[in-house]
Chains A and B, each alone.
Chain A
Amino acid sequence: MKHTRALRAVRAEEWMMFGVALGVCALVLALVFVVAWQSFLSNGWDHPSFRGFGNYVTTFRKPWVQAAILHTVSVSIGTTAFATVIGVSLAWINARTNVPCRSLLEVVTIVPFFLSPFVGAIAWMYLAAPRVGLLNEFAHAAFGLPLDVLNIYGPGGIVWVQGIFFTPFVYLMTIGTLRRMDPALEEGSRACGCGVWTTTWRITLPLVMPAILSGVIIVFAASAAEFGVPLALGSPYGFETLSTEIFSVLQRTEPRYDMASTMGAVLLAATLILVLFYQRVLRSREFVTVSGKGFRARAVDLKGWRYAALAWNLVYALVAVVLPLLILMIVSLQKVWLGAIDTSDFTASNYRFALFANPGTRSGIEHSLVLAIIGAFLAVALSFIVTRIIYRSRVPGRYWIDTITSIPLGVPAIVLGLGALIVFIRTPLYGTLSVLLLAYIARFIPVGQRSIAGSLLALSPELEESSRACGAGWAKTLTKVTLPLLKPGLAASWMLLFIIFLRELPMSIMLWTSGTEVMSVALYQMLDLATAGEIAAYAIIQAGIILLVLLCFRWTIRGEAILEA
């Protein structure tokens, strides 16, 4: 009785949006559960038999699977340690010290967040591959060191590239807390006679510990799930991780869906648990240091050390942004890359090849742009609907929609791609771009949802209600009041999703067919077939589009929402 009354209060438009939100939930659940289900079935679509945990036993007995697990764990530990040290130190420098040129550094430090780690791995191949890496050449010429003093291939290189690209995760998480921390907490310690360093060590650090811990968890989960970097720097040299193995067992003449989904299910379980744990930490941290007042904590005077801090920051910017982009630009202009810059040999032919001459790369660009533009619009629209249902409706089951739509945060893209492959391969949709579109949306709906939630919650419901009072229906209220007011927030999440979709590799590589290749997939294929110059030109085109979009929007980046990516 009470329930039916509650239902009557729900308006028709709310039911409509509720239906859409349910559709999104169904898609997410289908793509995730099908992987788990497949892991209990024998291989082959025709007469699968239920094998219980049989797949798990056979798969995890294999030495190469055990090696892959070991590799995944060790690379993740390395990446996490690396990214945490750099991220926390940069956050502290930028939030709490009088380091020079801070505003510029703050921008540069988060640029790697938007660039593709896969492209970063390729760039670092040209910088630090044995014999042909520019840095190796330089070390040889300047100090007489052997030509393979740096070797980007293998676990060290993977940790290096992932570390510099995941640093912004830790950085953004920590800097938010550092900024919002009540200065009275530190001033209290100073008043008690403790010096700057003791205070930083004894008060500041423990207070930001929860933020650091959540950064650690999220980086660990992200590197366990990372696909592009080990694919570029590990796989060709026999160093496989779980995510690359999931991909490679499907490349066999007889694709092994059973093994792929078994490994996928294990990887999924691990990352899901980590992300759940992370959300716990995040929730508990809110009332520790955040007081909600908008003050900027007083800066620590580093005196002469401020230049050391600046240098540390610049070194990061150099290895994470400047060097990779520079080397790609140089290589892309070179006819032949032999590890040395030859300005007399500069040419635009590589760009001509990537943009026009080669149909594969050209259609990759087209497909990626179509997917990114349309996909981002769709994802923003769906995220908006889901967010409204969660935060601004009286529909029962809102809590479950929230829970289900945040599951993909903990699902490695390669696993979700596998799920989409299993679901769609037997449907007529397979072989069209819409499969990629659905997978992208399913994976990144929580990113859109979280970035929109911030602006929606900041919008007082009274602004909409007064429009209803003025005689406008819900549709008119939406177009005349809600959407115009949310425009900056919606545009920011569109931009974020555009960038994510444009550079997406793991799901695309699982789902593409000839005729639906996208940029990152084409780039991957070029690694075997094209010249260094052509590869670099293509990578520069992708990075260029991303930087252009970033520049167009020029929004100060809101950490929390973006972090979840």
Chain B
Amino acid sequence: MTEPAAHRDAGAFLRVHGLVKHFGGMRALDDLSFSVARGECLTLLGPSGCGKTTMLRCIAGFEFPDSGQIEIDGQCVCDPERGVNVLPERRQFGMVFQSYAVWPHMTVEQNVAYGLRNRGAAKADISARVSEVLRMVGLAGRESHNVTRLSGGQQQRVALARALVYRPKVLLFDEPLSNLDARLRERMRQELRRLHKETAITSIYVTHDQEEAMVVSDRIVVMNEGRIQQIGSPSEVYDRPVSRFVADFVGNSNILEGCVERADAKSALVALEGGENLFLRCAVGERPAPGAAVAVSFHPEEVHVAASRPANAENILAGIIVSRSDMGGFIDYRVRVGREVIRVDAPRRTQHSEGQEVFLQIGAESCQCLCR
């Protein structure tokens, strides 16, 4: 078997190649391959049940895949074909769970020091490391507190400190923030990002929240039904989705069906199916064949809405506002264009009312052409 490119990727610190995992007859992971560079934070993003946790648990050694290989820092930790399955405690990773999983029968100090004690660190060293890490996560001076008395956010910090303290090779996060309230979640995101920058520990972060993925990670792996949909930086995945699924899941985009009217190397004119004489010009990577069935996607916030038709501009759609909701930070309009309803996130200062006729302008560079 020839080794695929991903497998030979020299800069990779953690490599997953061709991972397959069944639960009964159900294929939870379907031929997954990706790699993470040293010091990088990679996010596995996908809807509930797409296999993110399963993937993470395979890396940790809590699940054993049916086939494929996992390599951490040059060492193969898991290869069913060769019968390699390194014990979890030998894989030198740290893990933060959704449920925190702090040990209620131990104090904060005991929780955090546990990993160091298991590695036979010296006493003085342990207390120094523990207070350093607790300071890093903002829990300085809480060593002797009972973990069950801490708030959810603080417990999650303890879990984080516990995973950081022994400087693992890889940090695994399984939806660590999803049990926290919205405000705290936002703050913790930033802190996780800061901590990652500070420690530069290679991390894999699992979430189903695309905003969270955008904030914390260097690169995103979008998954669906056990398969990888797209790998790229947050802006690549957001701005250049390769499939309807990614456009919808990551960008929450408007997706309109159509077919290519004519195309050149940089852009294509797409006739939309939703009505007569509706055309959108979109940016393309490679030139699509005229007549090909495609979809056009664009983000709600990239639509400009105006009461009167902008002069001599391209990509204008006329429609009627069917609803208007004040979302606080922006106004969410739903605009009927032909048979389609388009979501528009407009600035607060726009004052259009329901039933009003408006004109939507979408920059050609904001429109993505997705092949069907």
A and B interact physically:
yes
A positions within 8 Å CB-CB of B:
2, 5, 8-9, 11, 460, 462-463, 465-473, 476, 480-481, 484-485
- Does any Cβ of A come within 8 Å of B49's Cβ? no
- Taken together as a complex, chains A and B put the C-alpha atoms of A463 and B62 apart, in Å, by 13
B positions within 8 Å CB-CB of A:
22, 60-64, 66-67, 80, 83, 85, 87-89, 92-95, 97, 99, 101, 103-105, 114-115, 118-119, 159, 162-163, 166, 172
- Taken together as a complex, chains A and B put the C-alpha atoms of A378 and B221 apart, in Å, by 50
User: Which residues of chain B come closer than 8 Å to A9, judged between CB atoms?
Assistant: 63-64, 85
- Taken together as a complex, chains A and B put the C-alpha atoms of A136 and B101 apart, in Å, by 63
Partner of A5, one of B66, B88, B94, B104: B66
Q: Nearest chain B CB to A153's CB is how many angstroms away? A: 54
4 extra interface residue pairs, beta carbon distance < 8 Å, beyond A470-B118, A470-B163, A471-B89: A469-B60, A469-B172, A485-B103, A485-B104
User: Which residues of chain B come closer than 8 Å to A467, judged between CB atoms?
Assistant: 103, 114
Q: Nearest chain A CB to B193's CB is how many angstroms away? A: 22
Q: Nearest chain B CB to A480's CB is how many angstroms away? A: 8
A463-B114 contact in complex given A469-B94, A469-B163, C-beta closer than 8 Å: no
- Taken together as a complex, chains A and B put the C-alpha atoms of A463 and B159 apart, in Å, by 11
User: Which residues of chain A come closer than 8 Å to B83, judged between CB atoms?
Assistant: 8
Q: Nearest chain B CB to A2's CB is how many angstroms away? A: 7
User: Which residues of chain B come closer than 8 Å to A465, judged between CB atoms?
Assistant: 60, 62, 88, 95, 97, 101
- Taken together as a complex, chains A and B put the C-alpha atoms of A468 and B103 apart, in Å, by 13
- Taken together as a complex, chains A and B put the C-alpha atoms of A9 and B118 apart, in Å, by 24
A466-B93 contact in complex given A8-B80, A471-B166, C-beta closer than 8 Å: no
Q: Which B residue sits closest to A1, measured CB to CB?
A: B66
Whether B99 pairs with A460 at a CB distance below 8 angstroms is yes
- Taken together as a complex, chains A and B put the C-alpha atoms of A13 and B62 apart, in Å, by 14
- Taken together as a complex, chains A and B put the C-alpha atoms of A3 and B123 apart, in Å, by 46
A-B CB proximity, top 8 nearest: A9-B64, A470-B115, A462-B101, A471-B118, A468-B88, A469-B95, A462-B97, A466-B101
User: Which residues of chain A come closer than 8 Å to B88, judged between CB atoms?
Assistant: 465, 468-469
Q: Nearest chain B CB to A9's CB is how many angstroms away? A: 3
Whether A466 pairs with B85 at a CB distance below 8 angstroms is no
Partner of A481, one of B87, B97, B99, B103: B103
Partner of B89, one of A473, A480, A484, A485: A473
Whether A470 pairs with B114 at a CB distance below 8 angstroms is yes
Whether B115 pairs with A460 at a CB distance below 8 angstroms is no
A470-B104 contact in complex given A8-B80, A465-B95, C-beta closer than 8 Å: no
- Taken together as a complex, chains A and B put the C-alpha atoms of A462 and B101 apart, in Å, by 6
User: Which residues of chain A come closer than 8 Å to B163, judged between CB atoms?
Assistant: 466, 469-470
- Taken together as a complex, chains A and B put the C-alpha atoms of A344 and B99 apart, in Å, by 67
Q: Which A residue sits closest to B114, measured CB to CB?
A: A470
Whether A463 pairs with B101 at a CB distance below 8 angstroms is yes
User: Which residues of chain B come closer than 8 Å to A463, judged between CB atoms?
Assistant: 101, 103
Q: Nearest chain A CB to B168's CB is how many angstroms away? A: 8
User: Which residues of chain B come closer than 8 Å to A5, judged between CB atoms?
Assistant: 64, 66-67, 80
- Taken together as a complex, chains A and B put the C-alpha atoms of A468 and B93 apart, in Å, by 10
Q: List 28 A-B contacts (CB under 8 A).
A: A2-B22, A5-B66, A8-B83, A8-B85, A9-B63, A9-B64, A11-B87, A462-B97, A462-B99, A463-B101, A465-B60, A465-B62, A466-B95, A466-B103, A466-B163, A467-B114, A468-B87, A468-B88, A468-B89, A469-B89, A469-B95, A469-B163, A470-B162, A470-B166, A471-B118, A473-B87, A480-B114, A481-B103
- Taken together as a complex, chains A and B put the C-alpha atoms of A407 and B103 apart, in Å, by 36
User: Which residues of chain A come closer than 8 Å to B61, judged between CB atoms?
Assistant: 468
Whether A466 pairs with B118 at a CB distance below 8 angstroms is no
Q: Nearest chain B CB to A237's CB is how many angstroms away? A: 56
Whether A485 pairs with B166 at a CB distance below 8 angstroms is no
- Taken together as a complex, chains A and B put the C-alpha atoms of A463 and B85 apart, in Å, by 22
Whether B89 pairs with A466 at a CB distance below 8 angstroms is no
User: Which residues of chain B come closer than 8 Å to A460, judged between CB atoms?
Assistant: 99, 101
Whether A476 pairs with B97 at a CB distance below 8 angstroms is no
- Taken together as a complex, chains A and B put the C-alpha atoms of A8 and B118 apart, in Å, by 26
- Taken together as a complex, chains A and B put the C-alpha atoms of A520 and B92 apart, in Å, by 56
- Taken together as a complex, chains A and B put the C-alpha atoms of A471 and B114 apart, in Å, by 9
Whether A484 pairs with B105 at a CB distance below 8 angstroms is yes
Whether B93 pairs with A469 at a CB distance below 8 angstroms is yes
- Taken together as a complex, chains A and B put the C-alpha atoms of A229 and B83 apart, in Å, by 59
User: Which residues of chain A come closer than 8 Å to B62, judged between CB atoms?
Assistant: 465, 468
Q: Nearest chain A CB to B67's CB is how many angstroms away? A: 8
Q: Nearest chain A CB to B100's CB is how many angstroms away? A: 8
Partner of B162, one of A466, A468, A480: A466
Whether B80 pairs with A466 at a CB distance below 8 angstroms is no
- Taken together as a complex, chains A and B put the C-alpha atoms of A245 and B60 apart, in Å, by 60
Whether B118 pairs with A472 at a CB distance below 8 angstroms is yes
User: Which residues of chain A come closer than 8 Å to B93, judged between CB atoms?
Assistant: 469
Chain B CB within 10 Å — which of A466, A470, A481 has the most? Answer: A470
- Taken together as a complex, chains A and B put the C-alpha atoms of A9 and B63 apart, in Å, by 7
Q: Nearest chain B CB to A482's CB is how many angstroms away? A: 10
Q: Nearest chain B CB to A456's CB is how many angstroms away? A: 16
Whether A466 pairs with B105 at a CB distance below 8 angstroms is no
Chain B CB within 10 Å — which of A468, A473, A480, A484 has the most? Answer: A468
Partner of A466, one of B22, B67, B159: B159
Whether A466 pairs with B66 at a CB distance below 8 angstroms is no
Q: Nearest chain A CB to B119's CB is how many angstroms away? A: 5
- Taken together as a complex, chains A and B put the C-alpha atoms of A465 and B60 apart, in Å, by 9
Q: Nearest chain B CB to A16's CB is how many angstroms away? A: 15
A471-B104 contact in complex given A8-B83, A462-B97, C-beta closer than 8 Å: no
User: Which residues of chain A come closer than 8 Å to B105, judged between CB atoms?
Assistant: 484-485
